[in-house]
Structure 1
Amino acid sequence: MMPDWLTPSHFMMLGLQIVFAIAHSGGAALRPWAEKYTGARLYRVIFALISLPLAVILVVYFFNHRYDGLQLWQVQGLPGVQTFVWVLSAISFLFLYPATFNLLEIAAIQKPQVLLYETGIIRITRHPQMVGQVIWCIAHTLWIGTTFTLVTSIGLILHHLFAVWHGDRRLLARYGEAFELVRQRTSIIPLLAILDGRQELLWQEFVRPAYLGVTLFVLLFWWLHPLLLVSTSKIQF
């Protein structure tokens, strides 16, 4: 018999994450083949129409069930914890979203491309989205402290660790030796390539509209966060 705290929502969240991972990583794997038939713009639209609704479902389900299960710890009343969590969350967004700078490509207004570069945030880590997701998971698991949130975070981190391998594999297949050289000059672990002298951090590369946009988004999200929680609570599933 399963313990009372192990609610069905734990398994539902894992199932939703598996579906999203298959759709997202599978869609990325199919991209080189599919674009031959659909073109880059149409495939980006198809990819978005599949991935974005699944992502929204995941976010809404997480917000509505984040306190399910066993309360492992409770630190929300401790001084400084809320500020620490918000700072970690803001840092996580700086890693999560500037990984793709060209918003016109994301929206398929311009032709989407697979780019190979090692400037800006890639000097810090070759996989900024993975690092950002890990930081986000640490922050939110610390703040909420439930088994449901812990299970959610483990699932997200495992998917992004798989994406590290999967992304490197796809870039190696596409660029060959050129990517191998980039892999040698960069690191997955944040700052490792800078600390061992393979990279140099150039602050000028971070003076870009994308970083300003992410900063404004973080401030807007902080302001709208209570409203977002109320809105998602009205969607029950």
Structure 2
Amino acid sequence: MASTPLVLSTTFLSSKLYQTSHHHRPPLNSFPSSSSLSSKSKQSFNYLASKPLLFSPKLIARAASEERVTEVTDSDLVGEDSATFDLNNQKLSSWFYFTAILGVVLFVLNVIWIDDSTGFGTAFVDSISAISDSHEVVMLVLVLIFAGVHSGLASFRDAGEKLIGERAYRVLFAGVSLPLALTMIMVGQVMWCLAHTVWIGNSMAVAASFGLIAHHLFGVWNGDRKLSERYGEDFEIVKGRTSVVPFAAILDGRQKLPKDFYKEFIRLPYFTITALTLGAYFAHPLMRAASFNLHW
């Protein structure tokens, strides 16, 4: 929206515009610098500034903000940079804390859930297995329990963080979700899906894959809903130029890739994930032997 039509509109004193000017939030992505504004934008703003008796400062700020949002969404948004990793920005203390916290979480998870002698994982699976003699029904029940708890806690995140704080709620969320997710991972849930369904071809694979895919589709919708409620129009701007379908926004022209986009993939995090994935693949015999010893 250009600034001049906004000011000359006969509705610029409406309550809607007044409320918007008070509650406008910056978009999810960063604004460009003031030097990136077009000359037309500067001229429009200078025209407004030269008329202090006709236009309120709040209205002028609103016009400038709208102009900057337009500039961002129309010209300056060329892809997004992800997986940025700068060794100079890393702190040894942060990695120490991360390693310590991760170690404590995994230790507690093993004691209260995985270990047969102390954990409740086996008892949980046995109680679900008692519902039906059908392995497919048991698998779907496990998926539904995980989906309900995981997505349910995610839906109440805003209210929960206000009640007990962000860090405490994240600990609660992970502490409840990890054991339930681990139960399904132990029986091959996440490793299957469509490719493994075609490969295995039995009803157990179909049931597991159906539950997993349905949960993830629901997660996409629920995630967009939460972001829309939190950020409003700013999220809709980002959503309008992206897609949950891989490469769809690029193919239809809503999102443009920079010329050096390939550099985004030459990052340490990607190499690390690739190495871990290949390592997990070649370590399958060890994983199978370890899972057999769980007696689940």
TM-score range, shorter chain: 0.5 to 0.7
1:58-78 CA distance string (max 9 Å, x none): 111347xxxxxxxxxxxxxxx
* Counterpart among 221, 230, 233 of residue 280 in structure 2: 221
Query: Partner residue of 1:187?
Result: 243
Q: Structure 2 length as normaliser, TM-score?
A: 0.51
Where do 1:103-114 residues align within 5 Å? none
Task: After TM superposition, give the deviation of residue 208 of structure 1 in Å.
Answer: 2.9
Corresponding residue number in structure 1 for 2:134? 8
TM-score, normalised by the number of residues in structure 1: 0.63
Give the drift of 1:234.
2.5
Shift of 1:204: 2.5
Tell me which residue corresponds to 1:208.
267
1:86-101 alignment to 2 at 5 Å?
A: none
Secondary structure of the equivalent of 1:61? coil
Q: Please identify the structure whose Cα radius of gyration is greater.
A: 2
Which deviates the most, 135-144 or 191-200?
Answer: 135-144
Q: Per-residue CA shift, 1:133-175, capped at 9, x if unaligned?
A: 7x96122212322210111001100111111110100010011
**Among residues 142, 165, 168, which one is paired with 2:221 in the alignment?**
165
Identity among equivalent pairs (%): 46
Provide the rounded CA distance (Å) in 2 between the counterparts of 1:152 and 1:59: 11
Does 1:23 find its partner at 2:149?
A: yes
Q: Is the 8 A contact 1:13 1:62 kept in 2?
A: no
Quick one: distance in 2 between partners of 1:236 and 1:62? 14
The separation in 1 between residues aligned to 2:282 and 2:229, in whole angstroms, is 43
SS at the partner of 2:283? helix
Counterpart residue number, 1:42:
168
Q: Report what 1:70 is aligned to.
A: none
2-structure distance, mates of 1:175, 1:19? 29
**Which whole-Å CA distance do the structure 1 matches of 2:262 and 2:152 have between them?**
35
Q: Which runs of 5+ in 2 are unaligned?
A: 1-131
- RMSD value, Cα: 2.0
- The reply to whether residue 234 of structure 1 matches residue 293 of structure 2 is yes
SS in 2 for 1:236: coil
Separation in 2, partners of 1:209, 1:41: 27
Partner of 1:189: helix, strand, or coil? coil
Q: Is the 8 A contact 1:20 1:55 kept in 2?
A: yes
Number of residue pairs matched?
Answer: 162
Amino acid at match of 2:231: Y
Give the aligned partner of residue 140 of structure 1.
196
Give yes or no for contact 2:140–2:211 (8 Å, CA) kept in 1: yes
Q: Which amino acid aligns with 2:143?
A: Q
Q: Secondary structure at the match of 1:55?
A: helix
Q: Is the 8 A contact 1:185 1:198 kept in 2?
A: yes
Aligned 8 A contact 2:160 2:169 in 1: yes
Structure number with greater CO (CA < 8 Å, separation at least 6) is 1
How do 1:118-137 and structure 2 match up within 5 A?
137=193
Contact in 1 for aligned 2:192/2:205 (Cα 8 Å): no
Per-residue CA distance 1:8-28 (angstroms, 9 max, x = gap): 211111001001001110111
Letter in 2 for 1:191: F
Cα offsets for 1:19-53 (capped at 9, x unmatched): 10011101111111111122212211111111111
AA of the residue aligned to 1:208: R
Q: Does 1:198 align with 2:257?
A: no
